[in-house]
Amino acid sequence: MTAANEAASAADRELVLTRMIDAPREKLFRAWTEPDLLVQWFAPLPWTTSAVEVDLRPGGRSLFVMRDPDGKDYPNMGVYLEVVKNEKLVFTDAYTEGWQPSEKPFFTGIITFEDVGGKTRYTARARHWTVENRDMHEKMGFHEGWGQCADQLAALVAKI
């Protein structure tokens, strides 16, 4: 496989959302890592986040329980892979806690916060192991859902 083909293959399996947000990246990192802040923006309204667990280290457990408008809970369990304070968060559902392979690895999230003169370039990437899962994630409403959450996130960091 050539380098160009590898790049194309990687792009085929990735979804990306980028925003400039008028807040310092320290606040965005807090909003992504402190449970009492996460529950305020993480699910696209009228969905809510009913529970959050954050063990912020490689292999540490990540749990987000999203609740639909009828009150049904959908747990999303995974682990953190890399944590660079105020700069980067990487997590995946390919493992449950303790490096136990999960039943159905779906994606890896890479969140980066870049300082641009006091504002922040916020980039959320979802990388999948297959093109099929990437396409499924897009049809599930990745751009609308993550876009709405980015709006909620921007509104929250404006007031903390």
* Residues within the interface to its own copies (CB under 8 A): 10, 13, 58-59, 81-82, 90, 94-95, 99-102, 105, 108, 110, 127-129
In angstroms, give the least distance from the CB of 119 to its own copies.
25
In angstroms, give the least distance from the CB of 39 to its own copies.
26
- Cβ proximity to its own copies: between 67 and 125 the closer is 125
Q: What is the DSSP string of 141-155?
A: THHHHHHHHHHHHHH
- Cβ proximity to its own copies: between 39 and 136 the closer is 136
| Tokens representing residue 86 in the block | 């105020």
- Cβ proximity to its own copies: between 38 and 110 the closer is 110
Q: Measured between alpha carbons, how far is residue 147 from residues 50, 67, 100 in Å?
A: 20, 18, 31
Residues 6+ apart with CB under 8 A from 96: 61, 77, 78, 79, 102
In angstroms, give the least distance from the CB of 124 to its own copies.
13
